[in-house]
């Protein structure tokens, strides 16, 4: 370890975001970067703990202390080699992962200043691209073919892992380009799509075949493959079936997010098909990351106002005894999009959509209370009778996704990512991809 006392002398320094008035005028990435010297100092804060809880918390098992030390010593290539041994695409996780590792860092416990693990990860992979450490590999083929259905994070990892082992991999996806929600769900201001394209060029050069714009029925898989992996994610969004749902102006979150990303990629849409917040009062129903993405997108499109409501109570600020370290803390979170202008409210259930001339004009909401269960189980929701109307001429439903029901598959068909577990984090989908690839490999070498 390079500097065992750095954590005592060097405070946590985040790169931060571009100024609000600047970033809301475009869709470029909001996050900034530190210079090389400052980044190395941040890496030096890693304490090389006897029990690295960061490693314990990471779904893909990243070896954070090892690559933090290499980064501190300026050995960028070594840092990337250690990082890439467990993470297929650190340029994705280094930008959008919520960093479970940081919340379990010992410095989070001791002084609430964990190591900037996620930012350091992004810096390492960017240096690897910049310095040419990432080279196209030419695997020796073993004569066996695998079809991966779905080109999101899980499918990409499955394809990458099996391709490097020598399998001939064909990646199918219904969309026109690979990436799944990385491309069509996460806004460009969080993940620039050039970052995805850069990696896809490498995967294609290494031999993975991309069949995009191809809808595959998982009950009738294409013939000619020795094994299959279903990585189709969670395509069905959770709906809100209350009176007035048929009114115009009510959309699923991904209708807006995917369309905006496609527009930025050069596609055009008829005026009557646009999902655009310009000049509108926007109501986002759902308090998670997808809802936050809707806020940032609405602000950039020119919304008059944005309100976000959540049926659950407002999380505690700072510390929640129900989720102590090293668990992921269920606490109040403010994202870069929230900083850009948004009214946030909690404990509100939606009773009905209100409209005029077939268009939504507002939502009747009712305050609810959450009664704790005596046995410590799931609390009970109790309506209070306190009702009000929130004006809105655009409503975005961001309440999560339904876990897909899968048919019974043959022995040579495997599942990975959200298609198997239900909606979760990108990093967990990537971990599922690694697990499925190992299972497919073990099956095919029997």
The radius of gyration of the chain from alpha carbons, rounded to an integer in Å, stands at: 23
Which pLDDT value is given to residue 3? 77
- Exposure string over 298-310, b if 16+ CB within 10 A, otherwise e: bbbbebebbbbbb
In the chain, the number of structural domains is: 3
Q: What are the phi and psi torsion angles at 250 (to 5°)?
A: -105, 120
**pLDDT score, position 375:** 87
Q: What is the largest CA-CA distance in the chain?
A: 68
Domain C-terminal end among 109, 131, 153? 131
Query: Which of 131, 154, 186 is the endpoint of a domain?
Result: 131
Spatial distance between the Cα atoms of 144 and 441, rounded to a whole number of angstroms: 10
* Domain presence at residue 107: yes
Same domain, 382 and 255: yes
What does residue 269 show for φ and ψ, rounded to 5 degrees?
Answer: -135, 145
User: Do residues 250 and 362 touch, judged by C-beta distance below 8 A?
Assistant: no
pLDDT one-digit tens code per residue, 206-241: 999 999 999 999 999 999 999 999 999 999 999 999
Same domain, 377 and 255: yes
Cα angle, residue 235 at apex, residues 231 and 237 outer, rounded to 5° = 145
Tokens of 248: 């115009």
At 4 the pLDDT is 82
Per-10-residue mean pLDDT of the chain, 446 residues long, equals: 83 98 98 97 93 97 96 97 98 98 97 97 98 97 98 98 98 98 98 98 98 97 98 97 98 98 98 97 97 98 98 95 96 97 98 98 98 89 97 98 96 98 97 98 95
Does residue 341 fall inside a structural domain? Answer: yes
270 and 392 share one domain: yes
* CATH number of the domain that residue 158 is part of: 3.50.50.60
pLDDT of residue 2: 60
**Whole-number Å distance between alpha carbons of 102 and 116:** 7
Please check whether residues 344 and 420 belong to one and the same domain: no
How far is the C-alpha of 352 from the C-alpha of 366, rounded, in Å? 10
- 178 and 209 within one domain: yes
Residue 240 lies inside a defined structural domain of this protein:
no
Does residue 241 lie in a domain region?
no
Cα–Cα distance measured from residue 103 to residue 115, given in angstroms and rounded to the nearest whole number: 9
271 and 352 co-located in one domain: yes
- Residue 425 CB contacts under 8 Å (≥ 6 apart), including other chains: 59, 97, 98, 100
Which domain covers residue 270, as residue numbers?
A: 250-397
Two tokens at 445?
């070498």
Tell me how far apart the alpha carbons of residues 273 and 348 are, in angstroms, rounded to a whole number. 30
End-to-end CA distance of the chain: 42
User: What local confidence, expressed as pLDDT, does residue 365 receive?
Assistant: 98
Q: Are residues 319 and 425 in the same domain?
A: no
Same domain, 69 and 179: no
Q: Please check whether residues 82 and 12 belong to one and the same domain.
A: yes
> Strands 227-230 and 413-415: what pairing?
parallel
Residue 106 tokens read as 């010992």
Angstrom distance (rounded) from CA 123 to CA 40:
10
- Domain shared by 224 and 207, yes or no: yes
366 within domain boundaries: yes
Last residue of a domain, one of 131, 160, 182: 131
* SS3 track for the chain: CCCCCHHHHCCCCCCCECCHHHHCCCCCCCECCCCHHHHHHHHHCCCCCCCCHHHHHCCCCCCHHHHHHHHHCCCHHHHHHHHHCCCCCHHHHHHHCCCHHHHCCHHHHHHCCCCCHHHHHHHHHHHHHHHCCCCCCCCCCCCCEEEEECCCHHHHHHHHHHHHCCCEEEEEECCCCCCCHHHHCCCCCCCCHHHHHHHHHHHHHCCCEEEECCCCCCCCCCCCCCEEEECCCCCCECCCCCCCCCCECEEEHHHHHHHHHHHHCCCCCCHHHCCCCCCCEEEEECCCHHHHHHHHHHHHHCCCEEEEEECCCCCCCCCCCCCCCCCCCCCCCCCHHHHCCCEEEECEEEEEEEEECCEEEEEEEEEEEEECCCCCCCCEEEEEEEEEEEECCEEEECCCECCCCCCCCCCCEEECCHHHHCCCCHHHHHHHHHHHHHHHHHHHCC
Asked if the structure places residue 414 within a domain, the reply is yes
Q: Answer yes or no: is 188 within a domain.
A: yes
User: What CATH number does residue 31 fall under?
Assistant: 1.10.1060.10
Q: Using CA atoms, how far apart are residues 207 and 213, in angstroms rounded to an integer?
A: 19
316 and 409 belong to one structural domain:
no
The number of residues making up the chain comes to 446
Q: Are 268 and 206 found together in one domain?
A: no
pTM of this prediction exceeds 0.75: yes
Q: 108, 93, 9: which is closest to 49 by C-alpha?
A: 108
């Amino acid at each position: 370890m390079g500097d065992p006392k750095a954590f005592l002398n060097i405070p946590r320094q985040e790169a931060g975001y571009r100024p609000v008035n600047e970033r809301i005028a475009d869709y470029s990435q909001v996050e900034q970067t530190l210079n090389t010297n400052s980044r190395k100092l941040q890496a030096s804060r890693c304490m090389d703990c006897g029990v690295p809880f960061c490693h314990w918390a990471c779904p893909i098992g990243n070896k954070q202390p090892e690559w933090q030390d290499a980064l501190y010593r300026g050995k960028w290539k070594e840092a990337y080699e250690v990082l890439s041994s467990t993470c297929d695409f650190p340029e994705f996780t280094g930008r959008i992962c919520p960093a479970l590792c940081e919340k379990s860092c010992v410095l989070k416990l001791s002084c609430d200043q964990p190591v900037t693990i996620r930012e350091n990860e992004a810096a390492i992979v960017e240096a690897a691209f910049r310095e040419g450490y990432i080279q196209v590999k030419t695997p020796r083929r073993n004569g066996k073919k695998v079809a991966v259905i779905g080109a999101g994070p899980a499918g990409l990892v499955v394809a990458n892992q099996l391709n490097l082992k020598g399998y001939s991999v064909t990646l199918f996806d219904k969309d026109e380009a690979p990436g799944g929600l990385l491309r069509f769900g996460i806004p460009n201001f969080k993940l620039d799509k050039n970052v995805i394209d850069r990696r896809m060029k490498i995967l294609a050069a290494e031999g993975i075949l991309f069949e995009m714009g191809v809808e595959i029925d998982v009950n009738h898989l294409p013939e000619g493959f020795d094994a299959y992996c279903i990585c189709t994610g969670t395509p069905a969004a959770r709906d809100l079936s209350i009176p007035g749902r048929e009114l115009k102006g009510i959309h699923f979150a991904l209708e807006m997010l995917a369309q905006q990303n496609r527009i930025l990629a050069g596609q055009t849409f008829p005026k009557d098909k646009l999902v655009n917040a310009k000049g509108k009062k926007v109501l986002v129903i759902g308090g998670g990351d997808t809802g936050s993405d809707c806020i940032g997108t609405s602000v950039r499109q020119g919304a008059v106002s944005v309100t976000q409501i959540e049926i659950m109570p407002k999380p505690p600020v700072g510390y929640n005894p129900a989720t102590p370290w090293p668990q992921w803390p269920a606490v109040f979170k403010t994202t870069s999009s929230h900083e850009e202008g948004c009214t946030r409210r909690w404990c509100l259930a939606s009773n009905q959509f209100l409209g005029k001339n077939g268009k939504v004009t507002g939502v009747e909401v009712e305050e609810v209370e959450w009664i704790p269960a005596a046995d410590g189980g799931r609390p009970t929701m109790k309506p209070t009778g306190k009702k009000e109307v929130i004006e809105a001429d655009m409503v975005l439903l961001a309440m999560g996704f339904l876990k897909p029901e899968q048919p019974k598959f043959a022995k040579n068909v495997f599942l990975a990512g959200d298609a198997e577990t239900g909606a979760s984090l990108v990093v967990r989908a990537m971990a599922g991809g690694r697990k499925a690839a190992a299972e497919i490999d073990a099956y095919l070498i029997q």
